[in-house]
Structure 1
Amino acid sequence: MKRYIVILRGVNVSGKNKLSMAELRDVLNKLGFQNVQTYIQSGNIILDSKETKEVVCQKIKEAIAYKFGHEIAVLARTPQEWQKTLENYPFSQENEKIVAFVFLDKITKETVIEVKGVKEDKYKIVDDVVYLYCPSSFANTKLTNNTIEKKLNVIATTRNLKTTKKLLELACLNLSKER
């Protein structure tokens, strides 16, 4: 069995793509995933599977479309990949309210994107993650998920530092209990 942190794009945002996490857990359990756990209402899942990340994502995407009628992008990482993402954050993490991670569906060769009006906000693109540091606040930044998707031609979903850390903690906590 492999442990995965699975993140969904655009779930329960501004009343769109509503998904009950309890119903989603039921669907995932029926698909044969084990130790299914969700965190908050924005599409964060921890689960175990014998399948590859790609198969896990495809099964979840198809199940959500069938059960809930939503076309949702699904991305997955192992706890080790998640940990590496956190460790590689290149900016200060002192103020967690301005730190975020944009997870991409594929590795990009781009390292620079043209975005006007960024001000003091910073980003760094590394493989399949865009690291964000937004002192202007996420409400005001020009480095939005949609902008990053368009500029890099990827599917992306963003998580703040608090959520990113909590998902790793939950994934590793469950792993240590099983050993």
Structure 2
Amino acid sequence: MNRYVVLLRGVNVGRAKRIAMADLRALLSDLGYEDVRTHLNSGNAVVSATRTSPERVATRVQRALADRHGLEVGCVARSGDQLRATIAGLPWPDRATAGAKLLAHFLSADPDPALLEAHDPRSLDSGRIALGERVMYQWCPDGVLAAPPASAWLEKHTGVVATGRNWNTVTKLTAMLDA
């Protein structure tokens, strides 16, 4: 049995695209996932499944949200190994202690290299944005609200779904995978 993190993009941040975490847990259970747990009220879940991939998990969840709840939201999933690799790949490990100011933007796919070259998100905030394996890291020393909207910018220019989580959430989800 493998464990996966499911990350929904843009749910429960305003009046649109709302889903109760109890409803999300029920949906995930109905899809056949086991050991379903959610974290916070922002579309974070951990599930167990056999014979699947993170991409398949994301596709199934995204379709079910649209079909059952009328929610058109992006979904990204990561295996436990992929999430641990995101943590290991952090380019600024000394900043992890300020977890609310450090973001990991999880990408649904690798951006097209030509588009990425033409629209490099690192140009938004030199030295504070770095790219990793299907993740974009962002350091926000003045707070997330004062930082450039890197996820939206990357999505607009590359067409890849990006959903950001602060480092505190990333480490909590990793702990949930291992619990």
Give the shorter-chain TM-score range: 0.7 to 0.9
In the alignment, which residue of structure 1 is the partner of 2:107?
A: 104
In the alignment, which residue of structure 2 is the partner of 1:2?
A: 2
Deviations 1:90-143 (A, max 9, x none): 122232221110000111343733645x3x761001231001111122101114
In the alignment, which residue of structure 1 is the partner of 2:71?
A: 70
In the alignment, which residue of structure 1 is the partner of 2:59?
A: 58
Query: Whole-Å Cα distance in 1 between the matches of residues 122 and 176 of structure 2?
Result: 36
Query: Whole-Å Cα distance in 2 between the matches of residues 156 and 138 of structure 1?
Result: 16
Query: Whole-Å Cα distance in 2 between the matches of residues 49 and 159 of structure 1?
Result: 23
Question: How many residues get paired?
Answer: 171
Deviations 1:6-58 (A, max 9, x none): 10101101222000110111121112111111111100010011222222222
2:162 matches 1:159: no
In the alignment, which residue of structure 1 is the partner of 2:45?
A: 45
In the alignment, which residue of structure 2 is the partner of 1:177?
A: none
Q: Which amino acid aligns with 2:27?
A: V
How many percent of aligned residue pairs carry the same amino acid? 28
Q: Structure 2 matches for 1:107-122, cutoff 5 A?
A: 107-108=110-111, 109=113, 110=116, 112-113=120-121, 115=123, 118=125, 122=128
Query: Whole-Å Cα distance in 1 between the matches of residues 97 and 76 of structure 2?
Result: 27
In the alignment, which residue of structure 2 is the partner of 1:31?
A: 31
Query: Whole-Å Cα distance in 1 between the matches of residues 97 and 166 of structure 2?
Result: 13
Query: Whole-Å Cα distance in 2 between the matches of residues 79 and 19 of structure 1?
Result: 25
Structure 1 or 2: more helix by fraction: 2
In the alignment, which residue of structure 2 is the partner of 1:123?
A: 129
Q: Assess, with a 3 A threshold, how the Cα gap between structure 1 residues 18 and 85 changes in structure 2: closer, same or farther.
A: same
Aligned-pair Cα RMSD in Å: 1.8
Unpaired runs of 5+ residues, structure 1, are 174-179
Q: Assess, with a 3 A threshold, how the Cα gap between structure 1 residues 70 and 106 changes in structure 2: closer, same or farther.
A: same
In the alignment, which residue of structure 2 is the partner of 1:17?
A: 17
Q: Assess, with a 3 A threshold, how the Cα gap between structure 1 residues 151 and 121 changes in structure 2: closer, same or farther.
A: farther
Query: Whole-Å Cα distance in 1 between the matches of residues 122 and 57 of structure 2?
Result: 34
Q: Which amino acid aligns with 1:105?
A: S
Deviation of the 1:88 alpha carbon: 1.1
Query: Whole-Å Cα distance in 1 between the matches of residues 159 and 66 of structure 2?
Result: 23
